[in-house]
Structures are given as C-alpha cells and as structure tokens.
C-alpha cells in the first residue's frame, strides 16, 4: 500500500498549504491530457494523487491516517491486506480489513464486509475487537462512506452512535463539532426532502436536540414545522415554530410558514 506523503512527495510534517501546492504541481505533471499515449497510466496516477490529497488535506482523515501509518508501514505492500483476508471469518481480522479498506479508498469492499458481519452476527460490534481509538476512527470512516454512497439514514445513525460513544471517551474532542455538523446537515436533508418524518423527529430527539446550540436548534425546529405542515398537521407545525422562535426570536426565513399558520411573530400566538 502506498504512503500518501510519498505519493505527494512531501514530508509528514507538511502544512496544508504545502499539501495543496504539491497536489497542484503533480496534477499538472500527470494529468491525462498531457499524456495522450499513456492515458490509462496517467489516469491511475491521478487517481492515486487525488486519493492522497483527499486524505491529507482533511484534518480528521489525516489524523486517522497518521495514527495508523507506522503500523501500516511495517506491513507495507499488499502482504498485510492479504494476510487479513486469509484469516477468513475471524472477526478481529475482518475489523482490521474494514478499517484498512476505508483508509485506502476501498469503501465498497469495506461496507460489504461490514454489512456481511452484521447479517451473520446481529450482535456484532466493532468495539469488541478493536481499541477505542481504532474503533471510533473506523466508525467515523464508515459513517462518511455511507454518506458518500447517499445512504443518509444509515450515515446519520452511524454519526449519532459515534457522537454518543465519543462523549464517553472524549476521543475526538475539538472534532466533535464536525460530527454534529454532519448530523445537522443530514437532518436538514431529511426534513427538506420527502424522507421518513418519524425517523427525522426521532433522530433529532435522540441525537441532536441537546447537543446543538440554541440557534441551530431553532433552525431545525423551523424545518420540522415546515415539514410537518406539508404533512398536513397545522397544530403540530405551529407548536414547532413557536419553539423555534422561543429559542431564537430573530429567526429568519419564516414569513411564508407564518402566513400559512396565521401566526403573529411578536406575540407568538395564533
């Protein structure tokens, strides 16, 4: 397996600016347009460069990558992955293989194996076979991969579980806000689309309501009011909008729903 720092030809202590500069230089050098007679080779090289860049430019992905790099360097090449695969259904080996594939951009393989384990063993849990750090890192990458595959509901459930576990271990610390942001954005997707309203309401109640700042909670309550009104329940929509305005009296973007519900914003009455 390749070392992303070597691919971008930079030092492990390189700054974000240096990562960006290295990517730009290599992209110009290996872009397929400049190698018409070796387009396949150039395409593969660009894919490798892009994958390295995507990991090293993202603070959380880079942190995860750096924490696993020393171990992976000992097992450099395909030997380590093949040795894990040879262990068959051994749960510990499968967990490490999932983690490795997520790190190396083989998300489809990682999700397939993860879901296979869940199907075969309903009580399966990553934390039973991994250290706390590896487990939480792996869960973050799983959630991100589900989100990338547009499996928003599963992604939200993964982020929510990850957030609750991190509160116990205080592992992600400053990055916890990023997890909340991703949950918040997925929640807005649920409420703006034609998804499962009951799932969105339950997800907000169980995962986000007590974690988000007042202004963010107000925004979500407004979105819930709009969604509930589309479903035809004016009374519940009105209650959610009132809560939103109590949390943030200066909440914007409520003119249309206020008019539909016949509400007076100043007095918060019907």
First to last CA, the chain: 64
88-118 per-position pLDDT tens digit = 889 999 999 999 888 878 899 999 999 999 9
25: which 2 tokens?
């230089």
pLDDT (0 to 100) of residue 195:
61
pTM: 0.72
pLDDT (0 to 100) of residue 270:
44
CATH topology of domain 63-188: 1.25.40
What is residue 173's DSSP assignment? G
Residues in the chain: 270
E strands along 114-209, which residues? none
128-172 per-position pLDDT tens digit = 999 898 899 899 999 999 998 999 999 999 999 999 999 899 888
CATH topology of domain 1-57: Helix Hairpins (1.10.287)
∠ at Cα 150 (183, 127), nearest 5°? 60
Domains of the chain, by residue range, sit at: 1-57, 63-188, 213-270
In whole angstroms, what is the distance from residue 12 CA to residue 233 CA? 56
In whole angstroms, what is the distance from residue 85 CA to residue 80 CA? 9
∠ at Cα 34 (62, 32), nearest 5°? 55
Specify whether the CB–CB gap between 26 and 8 falls below 8 A. yes
User: Within the chain, which residues score under 50 in pLDDT?
Assistant: 74-77, 267, 269-270
pLDDT (0 to 100) of residue 74:
44
From 103, 102, 105, select the one nearest 114 (Cα to Cα). Answer: 102
């Amino acid at each position: 397996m390749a070392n992303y720092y070597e691919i971008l030809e930079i030092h492990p202590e390189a700054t974000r600016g240096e990562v960006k500069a290295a990517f730009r230089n290599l992209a110009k050098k290996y872009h397929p347009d400049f190698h018409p007679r070796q387009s396949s080779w150039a395409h593969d090289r660009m894919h490798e460069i892009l994958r390295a860049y995507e990991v090293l430019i993202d603070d959380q992905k880079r942190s995860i990558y750096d924490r696993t790099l020393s171990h992976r360097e000992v097992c450099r090449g395909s030997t380590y992955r093949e040795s894990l695969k040879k262990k068959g259904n051994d749960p510990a080996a499968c967990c490490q293989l999932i983690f490795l594939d997520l790190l190396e951009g083989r998300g489809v393989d990682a999700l397939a194996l993860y879901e296979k384990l869940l199907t075969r063993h309903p009580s399966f849990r990553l934390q039973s076979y991994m250290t706390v750090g590896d487990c939480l890192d792996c869960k973050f990458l799983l959630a991100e991969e589900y989100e990338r595959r547009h499996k928003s509901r599963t992604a939200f459930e993964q982020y929510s579980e990850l957030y609750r576990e991190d509160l116990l271990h205080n592992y992600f610390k400053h990055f916890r806000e990023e997890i909340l942001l991703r949950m918040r954005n997925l929640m807005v997707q649920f409420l703006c689309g034609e998804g499962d309203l009951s799932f969105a309401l339950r997800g907000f109640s169980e995962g986000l309501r007590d974690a988000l700042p007042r202004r963010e909670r107000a925004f979500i309550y407004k979105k819930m009011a709009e969604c509930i009104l589309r479903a035809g329940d004016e009374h519940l929509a009105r209650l959610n909008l009132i809560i939103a305005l109590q949390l943030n009296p200066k909440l914007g973007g409520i003119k249309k729903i206020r008019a539909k519900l016949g509400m007076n914003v100043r007095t918060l009455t019907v």
